[in-house]
Structures are given as C-alpha cells and as structure tokens.
Amino acid sequence: MLRWVLGITTAILFAATASADDSYIVGMTAGLTGPTASTFAPVAEAMRIYFDRINAAGGINGKPIKFVLMDDQAEPQKAGANVKQLLTRDNAILLINSSLSSTFAPSIAEAKRAKVPLMFVGAVCPKEVYPPAEGGQYCTTAFASNFDSRATLTFIKGTSPDAIRIGFAAATIPVSRAEIDFAEKYATDLGMISVDKELIAPTTADFTPFATKLVEAKPSWVYSWAAWVIQVQLFEAMRRLGWEGNFLGWAHQEAEDELQRLKDPHLYVIGANTLFQEHLPVQNEIEDAATKANSRYPANQMSEGWIGGMMVEAALKQSGWPADAEKVQNALQNLQVDMKGIRAAPIQWTQSNHFRVNQSYRIYNWDSAKGQIVTAKDSLSYEIK
C-alpha cells in the first residue's frame, strides 16, 4: 500500500515538474476581491481567456503558457507574499501585477530580488516605467500620470475662450491626489479658475455632501481622475442637486456602458482605448472569446487585460524556447506590438522607456440627437520621452 502511495506521489510530482518545465510560467497577483475588484477582476479574466486561447491553438513556440493567478485583495502584504510564492513555488519567468498602487512596492522588491520582469496591466503605471526607465518593470495600462490631465485640460480649455471655472475631484489615494494636484496647477497655468477640489474616500456612503460643496462653487467644468465609482456617483449626485455643467472623468472599463446608461451629453470621458461600439475586428474577437469562455464580465471591460495578453504573447514569442527570466527581460526591452486599433498607437518598449513611446487620447460623450456615443475629440497625442 505504502509503495502505491509513494509511487503515485512520485508520479504526480514528476508530472507537475515536467509540465512546469514544459511551459512558459506567467504569474499574476491581482485584486480579484476587495475594494477595487471591479477594476482588476475583468483584467485578470481577460488575460486568462487570452492565454487559454493561445494554449488551445498550440501555445507559443509550441509550448503552452501556464498562467498562475493569485488574489491579493489589493493588500500590500498579500501581494508581496503572492509574488514570493509565484517566484519560489511556481518559478514564474514573468510576473504581472493588476492591483492597487499600494501593492507595487512589495511586488517590485520581490521581483527585483529574483531578477524577474514585472508587468503592470490595468493598474496605475509606476514611475519606474517612464523614461529613463530603471529595472525590469513595464506597463501596458491606458492611463498615464500627468499626460491624462494635460490632454483633458487642453480639451477643456479649447471649449471656451473665456476663463473657465473648474472644479476637481480625486480619491483619497496618493496616486489620484497627485494627479489632481498636478491638474489643478496645470489648469491655473492655462488660465482657468480652480474653484474647488474635493478628496473623496472610496468608502463614502453618500456623495451628496461633496457634490453640494462643488455645486456651491459654481464650476462650468468638473474634472475627476479617480475610480469609476467615485467619478460617476459624484456626477450623479451633482446632477440631482440641479447642476448643469460639464463633467469629464477617466474612461475606465465601465465607461462605455455607463455613458449609454446615463445618456447625458455633458458627461465626457477621456481614454486611450477605443470603445467597443467601433466594432473593430479585434473587439469582435474579444467578444467571441468572452462569450465562449462564459465570462462573468462584459467584453467591453476586457481591453486592458487583452492588451496585457498581447504584450505577454509577443514577449514570450521573442524569447524563444527554452525561456528564462533573463531572455524575457531582453525581449521586453525591445518590443513593439501593434494594438490592432484597441489603442491608436502601438505599444513600444525600449531600454529606457518601459511605458510607451506614444500616448494618444480620445474623448467621448453621449450625443442625444444621434442616440449614441460620439467622439468629442480625437488624436490628442503625446510623445513620451
């Protein structure tokens, strides 16, 4: 009996080792549950679907991708422990983080120690990825600190020759506050009048008190760079208070459905990803894949994860077989992937730029006459040096 047990255990261990040695191991820590799950869970789901499709089609360089996904609940300690486990237990050759910025430090520290590249997908891009980039961190996420606000405020400035009264709203997390602080200063430089700035906790029960203060300041525009829930709940609270001004927020994954739900022509969103109403071939592909995989998230929330999948696929393809962390790192430093229209420009990583060379924005809003979402402004492009 003991021999049987030992035999079976050895066989399982051998099989596990063999399968691990015979595949590209990609590890991901993501905020699948916890306060920011609505942002990160669809990213992880899209990546899983993407890798499943690759494996079903024969893998990369003839080898499958072993995708190990772990939940960190957007907590730093859990993210650090996850990355450690992905490195030591699973021997991941590429790591992915899709979680709150507070999880970045422990993830980066562990990845640096093991000299394994770390990609940020659907999460805020850390400063390490911008030129001059240091270390092995890369980022595919659409939003870009400071550039988002520059594009937004340039658009707003162009809507009126007069001095514009503008209000701001941020979440009480460092990355959002820093962006709105930058935006407030930039708006003043552009000749706008900053009338109020609200910092809103994600745990807010009622947004009306914040909306009341903003409405009392009589802004003609409000700009918010925060989680979608904060942006939209603040906007709706302001509308209920009778405010009729313009509101511009970041086009998170939920934006397309929400613009259609609210049908408010004065609600604008700015983003780098193309909305699914364009029906690009790649978007149809995502929709088919999501339907086949019986996804719990709508396809139009999967662009970020899909882009992450495209970058991983290209990097692993370029790394060849057998691959290790060093080969993947070398591949990532010299990578250019056509986004097939999901983004206006390709994502290109170089030795000193782990973000992208070109960042291009579009602004959307609802057109009541046409009964659909329209592009309010196209091709707001920036070269990232």
Which residues lie near another protein (CB under 8 A)? 32-33, 35-38, 41-42, 172, 198-210, 212-213, 228-229, 232-233, 236-237, 239-242, 254, 261, 296-298, 301
Nearer residue to another protein within complex by CB, 163 or 241: 241
3-state secondary structure of 2: helix
Q: Are strands 94-98 and 24-30 parallel, antiparallel or unpaired?
A: parallel
Least distance between another protein and beta carbon 341 (Å): 24
Containing H/E element for 328?
A: helix 325-332
Nearer residue to another protein within complex by CB, 260 or 358: 260
State the DSSP string of 108-158: HHHHHHHT--EEE-SSPPPGGGSSS--TTEEE--S--TTHHHHHHHHHHHT
Least distance between another protein and beta carbon 260 (Å): 12
Nearer residue to another protein within complex by CB, 49 or 232: 232
Least distance between another protein and beta carbon 198 (Å): 5
* Residue 135 burial by Cβ neighbours in a 10 Å radius (0-12, 13-18, 19+): middle
Nearer residue to another protein within complex by CB, 275 or 323: 275
Nearer residue to another protein within complex by CB, 63 or 177: 177
153: nearest Cα among 213, 251, 224: 224
Say if residues 256 and 299 touch (Cβ distance below 8 Å): no
Least distance between another protein and beta carbon 79 (Å): 17
Least distance between another protein and beta carbon 130 (Å): 27
Q: Which residues does 101 contact at the CB level (< 8 Å), separation at least 6?
A: 123, 124, 126, 173, 174, 175
Nearer residue to another protein within complex by CB, 164 or 232: 232
Main-chain phi, psi angles of 383, to 5 degrees: -90, 130
Main-chain phi, psi angles of 118, to 5 degrees: -125, 125
Least distance between another protein and beta carbon 254 (Å): 6
